[in-house]
């Protein structure tokens, strides 16, 4: 993680100013009240130790909170992935095109036509892409998610082309006057 040079400069300047202030006050105590110097040093050491302890505890708590947030986000993304991909699988399985056996049989003298219905499902790779970009999953899982998202997008492009071809075929059929084929 990179820090802003301006922020580092300001922090350094603040530390130097506090150091000068502490050194100046220590010098004043030494010159005008030498008997209070031990109390002042004791107070200074306890204050510095308290500040460092507070900073350390704050950083530990921040790190713990960040890890918990990341863990929850990963679990949420995993659940969303499971739900989304399960829905895609369910829709594809339910709307799968089954070709009748007699339509697959070819004979030279057969002029029988078979009707078939097909459904082209639009897939949404948004959750897959978000999970891949999140950085919560290992390299292999992220790679597989990126391949899946690319495949889903390619499927959507091919689906759009197929739908365009279907509309164009319908227009051509109507334009030719063949309304019963």
Q: What is the DSSP string of the chain?
A: ----HHHHHHHHHHHHHHHHHHHHHHHHHHHH-GGGHHHHHHHHHHHHHHHHHHHHHHHHHHHHHHHHHHHHHHHHHHHHHHHHHHHHHHHHHHTPPPPPHHHH---TT-----------PPP--HHHHHHHHHS-S-HHHHHHHHHHHHHHHHHHHHHHHHHHHHHHHHHHHHHHT-TT-
pTM of the predicted structure, to 2 decimals? 0.57
Assigned domain for 124 exists: yes
Assigned domain for 159 exists: yes
Domain housing 157: 71-97+117-176
Assigned domain for 134 exists: yes
Assigned domain for 15 exists: no
Domains: count for the chain: 1
Assigned domain for 77 exists: yes
Q: What is the pLDDT of residue 158?
A: 87
Assigned domain for 122 exists: yes
- pLDDT tens for 100-126 read 666 666 655 555 555 555 667 778 888
Q: What is the pLDDT of residue 18?
A: 93
- pLDDT tens for 39-89 read 999 999 999 999 999 999 999 999 999 999 999 999 999 999 999 888 888
């Amino acid at each position: 993680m990179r820090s802003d040079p301006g922020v580092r400069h300001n922090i350094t300047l603040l530390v130097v100013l506090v150091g000068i202030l502490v050194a100046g006050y220590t010098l004043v105590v030494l010159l005008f009240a030498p008997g209070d110097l031990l109390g002042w040093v004791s107070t200074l050491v306890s204050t510095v130790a308290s500040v460092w302890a507070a900073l350390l505890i704050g950083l530990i708590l921040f790190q713990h909170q960040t890890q918990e947030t990341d863990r929850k986000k990963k679990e949420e993304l995993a659940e969303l992935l499971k739900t989304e991909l399960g829905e895609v699988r369910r829709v594809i399985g339910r709307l799968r095109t089954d070709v009748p056996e007699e339509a697959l049989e070819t004979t030279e003298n057969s002029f029988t036509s078979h009707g078939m219905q097909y459904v082209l499902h639009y897939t949404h790779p948004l959750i897959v892409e978000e999970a891949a970009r999140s950085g919560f999953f290992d390299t292999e899982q992220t790679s597989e998610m990126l391949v899946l998202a690319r495949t889903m997008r390619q499927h959507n492009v091919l689906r759009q082309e197929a739908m365009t071809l279907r509309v164009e075929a319908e227009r051509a059929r109507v334009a030719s006057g063949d309304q019963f084929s």
